[in-house]
Amino acid sequence: DVIPTFMGAHAVPRGADAEEYTESVVSDQLPAVAAQGTAEFCDVFCERGVFTAEQSRRILEAGRDHGLTPKIHADEFAAIGGTDVAAAVGAASADHLLHTDDEGRDALVDAGVTPVLLPGTAFGLGADYADARAFLDAGHEVALATDFNPNCFARSMSFVATLASVGMRMTPHEAIRGITSAAAGALDLDDGTGTLRAGAPADAVVLDVPTATHLSYRFDTNPVSTVLKSGVVARE
């Protein structure tokens, strides 16, 4: 499934003023996107040199007023208040979190915001990985994603699982939850998506590996042998 997200506030266009562009997103872009009725989420990059915490909050609140669930990318290069914004607006998820401190983590957890960690980005930047264990050891789930974009050209979820285990000290089983049930939580899917149980959507991938731990271990090949969508073989 493809779940559309509007992220007009990923960067300030070259030559534009950040405050003026924020107003454009709020007053012009969001109403047009809402009128299309396609997007389900509104995302923003709250980061030093991009959008401030105050600008990010205005954009996400405006998106929420138009029926779009907030998401945020924050703390990739510096912590400037993005986690507080995520908590305040009731964001479904907060991505990156490379520089999130204990207070920021507590704010996300207390507000029920799913942390989405993107180890491929840290790998590409040569940066320190996000502190997954701080969430996990406190009993909270962590979602994982590729952050696939021109700056992080990684499409392999098995590679993400490997980086999660090697770089963030997640067990293979924690990594599997991160790319299945926890990832579903980051999308506000509460119908059992990402799980194998009675009543859940029959969406699954069959892996050609000896054990589940090999998803993190064998990162040099594509382990997927069969894809099922709604119980029907979609690809093999």
In tens, the pLDDT along 150-179 reads 888 988 999 999 999 999 999 999 999 999
Average pLDDT value for residue range 119-143:
95
Multiple choice CATH, 5-195, 3.20.20.140, 3.90.1150.10, 3.40.190.10, 2.40.110.10: 3.20.20.140
In tens, the pLDDT along 67-90 reads 999 999 999 999 999 999 999 999
Q: Report pTM.
A: 0.95
| In the predicted structure, residue 12 carries a pLDDT above the cut 90 | yes
pLDDT score for 127: 95
pLDDT score for 21: 98
What spatial distance separates the first Cα and last Cα of the chain, rounded to whole Å?
18
pLDDT score for 130: 98
Q: Which has the closest alpha carbon to 96: 53, 65, 127?
A: 127
pLDDT tier, 149 (very low <50, low <70, confident <90, very high otherwise): confident
Residue with token string 């892996």: 207
Output the six-digit token pair for 62.
């405006």
Determine the residue type at 196: L
Q: What's 76-93 look like in SS3? A: CCCCCCHHHHHHHHCCCE
**102-111 helix and 82-89 helix, angle to the nearest 10 degrees:** 10
Domain boundaries, the chain: 5-195
In tens, the pLDDT along 88-112 reads 999 999 999 999 999 999 999 999 9
pLDDT over 90 percentage in the chain: 90
pLDDT score for 151: 84
Say which residues have a Cβ less than 8 Å from residue 148's Cβ, sequence separation at least 6.
120, 154, 155
Angle at 108 between CA 20 and CA 162, to 5 degrees: 100
